[in-house]
Chains A and B, each alone.
Chain A
Amino acid sequence: MRQPVIDIRDIAFAWKQGPQVLDIPAFRVDAGERVFLRGPSGSGKSTLLGLIAGVLAPQSGSIHVLGEDMSALSPSRRDRLRADHVGVIFQMFNLVPYLSVTGNVLLPLRFSPARRKAAGNDAEGEARRLLARLGLEDEQLLKRRVSDLSVGQQQRVAAARALIGAPKLIIADEPTSALDADARDRFIALLSEEVTRTGASLLFVSHDASLASLFTRAVDLAAINRAMNRAGAAA
């Protein structure tokens, strides 16, 4: 059996004084899988990603990421695990406005010696290679301020940043919702290709069910989250 990258058991999570948002008996992502997690907005997707990334902690249950029990780790160890092994892509506004395109791609290396090492001696060259594979090779383009790039270009820069230094898990939170259909499909294809090449696992979250076929496995958050079902039943 392959080592699970994400292994969730019986977790429950509620924001302070709020209703329960997540109650998931089991969810797992294996190494090399590209999993599509579908859920409408407000279904607790971002909360689940926060738990997996280790910035939130569940009230009960266990989350293992890359074999590490997140609830047993200190916040700073969880931060280090994320810095070393997890790449994150947001829906939009992914980039630090005052850094160049390559500066943004190289950002994770500032915080993680492990990824700095994995990126090799020529980190700048590695950043350019990643950008080129994602279709951003124009020298002029790389010199522009990141805020002057199109949304699609920004998302590809964010993908390169998530991929640099070979993290084992890429989390993408609605990365294509601001893109048109053409750009969206191309983005997913490029991202999948790179993830496959580096051997990372991908957890791709979106409300758009039509994307499910582009991944190795699709999971409906509503189906695994009992908190949702209860809320739905109550409504």
Chain B
Amino acid sequence: MSALLSLAWASLLNRKGSVILTIVAVALSVALFLGVEKARSGAREGFGNTISGTDLIVGAPTGSVNLLLYSVFRMGGATAEVSWPTYQKIAAREDVAWTVPIALGDSHRGYRVMGTNLDYFEHYKFGGGQQLGFAQGKPFDDLFDAVIGSEVARELGYTLDTPVTLSHGLGAADLGSGHENRPFRITGILKPTGTPVDRTVHVSLEAITAIHVGWETGAKNPLADTIPEEMIRSFDLTPKTVTAIFVGLERKGTILTTRRAINTNRGEPLMAIIPGEALAELWNVTSVAERALLAVSAFVIAVGLVSILTSILTSLNERRREMSILRATGARPHHIFLLLVFESGLVGFLGAVLGIALIHGLIAVLAPLLQAQYGVAFSMGAPGLVDLAVLGAVTAASLVIGAIPALTAMRRSLADGLSVRL
């Protein structure tokens, strides 16, 4: 066995050039497959890490995935809101420990603006229970204070005390923003979290109300900007509605009954979701696309394996003589078979090892960049079970595929006998 393995190794070394090309082809296909897999699991992990410690998210009735997407991931928008009295009712429930109301709908240069209260900084947790931390400054205090996420600060070059104005809706920055006469002052910059929080501008709920004074009809009253700031400050700025509410419960055990109570709320219709459950539903939706991607990259591995087959098959003609020599010196047909199977297996194994090294190297170099640019967190660290499984599968598949040229060579060597043909 080892005699043949070393023979296979020597034979591969003799054909270094074409063998290395084949190994590289396999390596690239394996790296692609693992890259897709790691991006997929990284995205899942990133999504899963975005919210933690929140038992329920309450909003107006919609799809549970939709509610999760707009309340936590700042994707899409709410079609309806929850009235303030209803929010107060939920906050006052005996089984509810804390609530964080949020109001969405405005933006700043492409980044979402979220109105909330100070409880947010205390109760919103991510990445398995980490609290939001301040890189600089402190939570908003004054009506026109804002706290920005790390990416907003980095991308827009904002520091503490930079004045910012908000835009109504989610439109691009320069399309006549609407709130340009109500400038905010940055009082805090959050530490990076790797979640949508990094891309959010946080203000108080009252501020959201304040900048919409004069917008009661849904569009801006031409006189809205003439109302002086002092006058606005004297108004009752309690919000009329909130977009969603993060809820923490006194006891986790009541989660299902509390959800049921909220879902069947008499009066205003409501919807409560469990973040983990909604996330699982989201994965159900995306898993089709994930599987398609994985299938495509698995096919690329198959192409890599076929390139092993091609390289060995094309070498067989010129190796006919070598096979006869081996037979003459005592190799039995199964030795010829194993020699070629081992060659194929070695190429597959080395290709997979190189591919794994390649993707881990790439991730090590590119992960910070990808995280910053796209928010996709690649799990770093030593090769894991997935890598081992791919290594095993590719090696096994290349051993199996090697049987094709191996059978050909074995049959030929039996027919050729000792008469060495040129």
Contacts and interface: CB of A to CB of B under 8 A. Distances in A.
Contacts of A33: none
B321 A79 contact: no
Contacts of A173: 418
Interface residues of B, number: 26
B419 A80 contact: no
Contacts of B331: 83, 110-111
B6 to A, nearest CB: 8
A95 B328 CA distance: 11
Contacts of B326: 96, 107
Given A46-B419, A90-B420, A110-B3, A84 B330 contact: yes
Contacts of B422: 93
Contacts of A97: 14, 322
A79 B14 contact: no
Q: Which of B11, B13, B329 has the most CB of A within 10 A?
A: B329
A84 B331 CA distance: 11
B332 A76 contact: yes
B10 A103 contact: yes
B417 A56 contact: yes
A93 B329 CA distance: 14
Chain A interface category by residue count: 20 to 34
Contacts of A56: 417
A19 B329 CA distance: 30
Contact of A50 (B14, B321, B419): B419
Contacts of A111: 3, 329-332, 335
Given A97-B14, A98-B11, A161 B418 contact: no
Nearest to A82: B330
Interface in A75-96: 75-76, 79-80, 82-84, 88, 90-91, 93-96
A63 to B, nearest CB: 14
Contact of A88 (B11, B322, B328): B328
Nearest to B419: A46
B115 interface: no
Nearest to A95: B325
Interface in A23-69: 46-47, 49-50, 53, 55-56
Interface string B1-12: 001100100110
A112 B330 contact: yes
Q: B-side binding surface: helix, strand, loop or mixed?
A: helix
Q: A-side binding surface: helix, strand, loop or mixed?
A: helix
A108 interface: yes
A75 B410 CA distance: 13
Contact of B418 (A53, A108, A115): A53
Interface in B1-45: 3-4, 7, 10-11, 13-15
Contacts of B351: none
Contacts of A99: 7, 10
Given A50-B419, A93-B321, A93-B420, A98 B329 contact: no
B327 interface: yes
A20 B3 CA distance: 40
B319 to A, nearest CB: 9
Given A76-B332, A108-B330, A111-B331, A96 B325 contact: yes
B101 interface: no
B139 interface: no
19 contacts: A55-B417, A55-B418, A75-B333, A79-B332, A79-B333, A82-B330, A83-B329, A88-B328, A90-B325, A90-B328, A90-B420, A95-B325, A96-B325, A96-B326, A97-B14, A98-B15, A107-B326, A110-B3, A111-B329
Given A79-B330, A83-B329, 10 more contacts: A53-B328, A56-B417, A76-B332, A96-B326, A97-B14, A108-B330, A110-B331, A111-B335, A112-B330, A161-B329
Interface of B: 3-4, 7, 10-11, 13-15, 321-322, 325-333, 335, 414, 417-420, 422
Interface of A: 46-47, 49-50, 53, 55-56, 75-76, 79-80, 82-84, 88, 90-91, 93-99, 103, 107-108, 110-112, 115, 161, 173
Pairs of residues from A and B, 3 with the lowest C-beta to C-beta distance, nearest first = A83-B330, A98-B14, A111-B330
